[in-house]
Chain A
Amino acid sequence: MKFAFTEDQLLFRDTVRDFLAAECGPAQVREAAAGEGRSPARWAKLVEMGLTGLTVPEDQGGLGLSLVDQVLIAEEAGRAALPEPLVDQIGIAAPLLSAFADRADVAEILEGVAAGTVKIAAGHPLDPFVADAGEADYLLLGREESLHLVPRDRVTLTAETSVDPLRRIAAVDWTAGNDTLLSSDPAMLDRMLDLGGLAAAAQGLGLAQTMVDLAAEYARTRQQFGKAIGSFQAVKHQLATVQVAIEFARAPVYKAAFTLGPRDISHARVAVIDAAASAARTAIQVFGAMGYTYEVDLHFFMKRAWALAGVWGDRHYHLARLSRMVLSDDAALGADGTFADK
């Protein structure tokens, strides 16, 4: 029993954090929102760092790392509100497709994912829109209980506008065929939802922390009544309360990355949705009227968090799923139940 990341994992996380701080700071996010939305130059650097191949098997040119490695990177992508769809590649597409790497066409696609030349969008039938479908080469989609891998030219997209100026979403119209079928095992579709939920939860942790950090930074400098507003307990206690919620959402996310169990994923998901919502609500209050403007960077992080709260099974979906597992007669509950449930 060792509930800790390795030195190497933390070191890699720090490298990615430093990289994103330099290449994807709030000013660059604002720039992206005002311009093209995606930066090919930044994507090329992410590829160069090996990040697009993080969870692609080594046989297909990836690093062959696990979702435990991935969860730390997804958290950093959230912390920076990274516009490029890195997390969907390494948190959803690559882990799902790796199970079919014995198929030559899938193996080739995975090689492209690792090289950053092939992009895959993923959408579960529960969700009305698919993110980054327009730029994708393939889409992972569900129909009835089957999982399909659909080439971009086989779908019709209707673009919609997200509250998050950096999220590109579209409704997808498509016809399933035998040639698009990846798996008719319903567990694979559930797996896609769980991977999506984990990716959203990890990003939510990072987003929530950035919102608190931005608000704390503002509270240190903004003066009223002759003092920094951060010296007032009314402000301190609100931010401290959010920090508590973030800290106690963290371990459930990390555990879910290790077990990939539905009970753990749903727990992580609900905990992060709540922590991030509370971070957004509190941060905008600390910023006051400034927080209500487009001019302060806070909104990029709030909007990403709001959008991610609804996809891959929303709060109600995960609470309902959790209730079926926790309230069942044979649930492993109580003091020795934490690591007994698999």
Chain B
Amino acid sequence: MDLQYTPKQQAFRAEVRAWMAAHVPKQRLKSYDTAEGFEEHRGWERVLNSGRFGMVTWPESLGGRGADLIEWLIFEEEYYRAGAPGRVNQNGIFLLGPTLMEYGTAEQKARFLPRMAAGDDIWAQGWSEPGAGSDMAAIRTKAIRDGKHYVINGQKTWSTRAVFADWCFGLFRTDPESSRHHGMSFILVPLDTPGITRRPIPQLDGEPGFAELFFDDVRVPVENRLGDEGQGWNIAMATAGFERGLMLRSPARFQETAKRLVQLYSRHEARVSPGVRDQVLKAWMDAEAYALNTYMTASRLIAGGKIGQEASLNKIFWSELDRSMHETALSILGARGELLASGVDEADDITRWLKGFLFSLAGPIYAGANEIQRNIIAERLLNLPR
């Protein structure tokens, strides 16, 4: 055990810190769930890529730096410390990217990854359907082979970023006779293909962060399939593992929220009840614990280990931590907490807490509802019967 950064790691941190200081926009970008904000964030992805900071863990040939997971954590720490914009392409870089590297052909990697890193293709995901949420094996949308194409018919929903995105990846039933987790394939679909209708769904904050997607005889070339026909479920599970596991929610994000919570508490300490102190300390401890746990996982993976059920433990922990931190913040803010927009100076921080609170409510639901994660822990880690 050695809990000191090496000189190389310190130098990397200094490089990221300097670069972020020079490049992070001084003004907060508009929400990426608006048309204008989406393009602003695409622009930021291009800036990141120009510094080879789009996805530092990717190989240099794909625009990355071949960074290991500890360096990735350092990068994330500096990213959030600098208050850099959210990653509009997180579905692509964090979820599809690793999946492509594992299951994609050389041609597919060359075709998709550089454009993903550059922000040229922003990705949405297409898992859920009206009848297939937590029970993802109930997917019905069909992709039927017709010569060199699949013809897709059906409907996806809760498709994150799909209102403005360029592509979506998802699971489709390629064997119409199949049921449950058999007979599905993982297919990449350009969202401007004729036959696709997008219906934006406004979220709690009123912005269309996700959409319904209707597929009406949508023709997609067979080479857009990732992995073998019928292998889709296994590939999707690997993607879900990345999502719940390490990449999607790095600890730095929650540590910065905990820091803001400590600062908020300090400003309001005189007027809130004494018990709030313990909630604030709990938030700080849990954010630290999540970071420490991630450093342990990263160290294990670097030594050749595999990510396992900790993906489910992580997902429960960060999502419930995020919700509880925002609840505590709003409770401290009291009557000011309802401010969604205002001209007063203080309002920017309040609005951040409020919007963060609304978003935090989605955490225990997306990426596999926490009830499903608890089933997974109980059945696979504690060996309880199904």
Contact = CB atoms under 8 A, between A and B. Distances in A.
Nearest to B17: A336
A322 B383 CA distance: 37
A38 interface: no
Nearest to B81: A335
Interface residues of B, number: 60
Contacts of B280: 327
B295 A1 contact: yes
Nearest to A6: B1
B384 A335 contact: no
Q: Chain A, interface size: which category?
A: 35 or more
B313 A254 contact: no
Given A248-B289, A250-B293, A4 B382 contact: no
Interface in A242-294: 243-244, 247-252, 254-255, 258-259, 267, 270-271
Interface string B275-288: 00110110011101
A336 B299 contact: no
Contacts of B375: 233, 236-237, 240
Contacts of B291: 338
A339 B3 contact: yes
Contact of A254 (B296, B316, B381): B296
Contact of A1 (B6, B379, B383): B6
A252 B289 contact: yes
Given A333-B284, A336-B13, A244 B377 contact: yes
Interface stretch (B128-136, B188-196, B250-258): B250-258
Interface in B204-258: 251-253, 255-256, 258
Contacts of B296: 3-4, 250-251, 254
Given A1-B2, A334-B259, A251 B383 contact: no
Contact of B386 (A231, A247, A250): A231
Given A239-B382, A243-B313, A251-B296, A333 B259 contact: yes
B290 A335 contact: no
Contacts of A338: 255, 288, 291-292, 295
Contact of A251 (B292, B378, B386): B292
Contacts of B365: none
Interface stretch (B38-46, B56-64, B72-80, B178-186): B72-80
B339 interface: no
B371 interface: yes
A243 B384 contact: no
A270 B384 CA distance: 29
B331 to A, nearest CB: 17
Nearest to B71: A1
A282 to B, nearest CB: 12
Contacts of A219: 384
B262 A326 contact: yes
A335 B284 CA distance: 11
A244 B312 CA distance: 9
A270 B285 contact: yes
A252 B266 contact: no
B166 interface: no
Nearest to A230: B384
Interface string B64-100: 0000001000001110110000000000000000000
Interface in B286-324: 286, 288-293, 295-296, 298-300, 303, 310, 313, 316-317
A4 B301 CA distance: 10
Contact of A220 (B256, B373, B381, B385): B385
A243 B374 CA distance: 10
A4 to B, nearest CB: 4
Contact of B70 (A1, A240, A241, A259): A1
Which of A243, A319, A322 has the most chain B CB atoms closer than 10 A to its own CB?
A243
B370 to A, nearest CB: 9
B265 interface: yes
Contacts of A212: 382
Interface in A204-249: 212-213, 216, 219-220, 227-228, 230-231, 233, 235-237, 239-241, 243-244, 247-249
A3 B76 contact: no
A106 interface: no
A244 B317 contact: yes
A68 interface: yes
Interface in B2-58: 2-6, 9, 13
Contacts of A241: 316, 374
Contacts of A249: 289
Nearest to B77: A335
Contacts of A228: 384-385
Contacts of B290: 248
Given A236-B379, A244-B316, A230 B6 contact: no
B78 A336 contact: yes
Interface in A1-29: 1-6
B278 A236 contact: no
A323 interface: yes
A231 B379 CA distance: 9
Contacts of B266: 327
A335 B293 CA distance: 14
Nearest to B289: A248
A231 B385 contact: yes
Which 4 A/B pairs are nearest by Cβ-Cβ distance?
A: A236-B378, A251-B292, A335-B252, A230-B384
Interface of B: 1-6, 9, 13, 70, 76-78, 80-81, 251-253, 255-256, 258-259, 262, 265-266, 277-278, 280-281, 284-286, 288-293, 295-296, 298-300, 303, 310, 313, 316-317, 371, 373-375, 377-379, 381-386
28 contacts: A1-B70, A1-B295, A3-B3, A4-B300, A6-B1, A220-B384, A231-B386, A240-B375, A240-B378, A240-B381, A243-B313, A243-B377, A243-B382, A248-B317, A251-B293, A252-B288, A267-B285, A271-B289, A319-B281, A327-B266, A327-B280, A334-B258, A334-B259, A335-B78, A335-B80, A335-B255, A335-B259, A337-B259
Given A1-B70, A240-B373, A250-B293, 10 more contacts: A3-B295, A212-B382, A236-B379, A237-B374, A240-B374, A241-B374, A244-B316, A248-B317, A254-B1, A335-B259
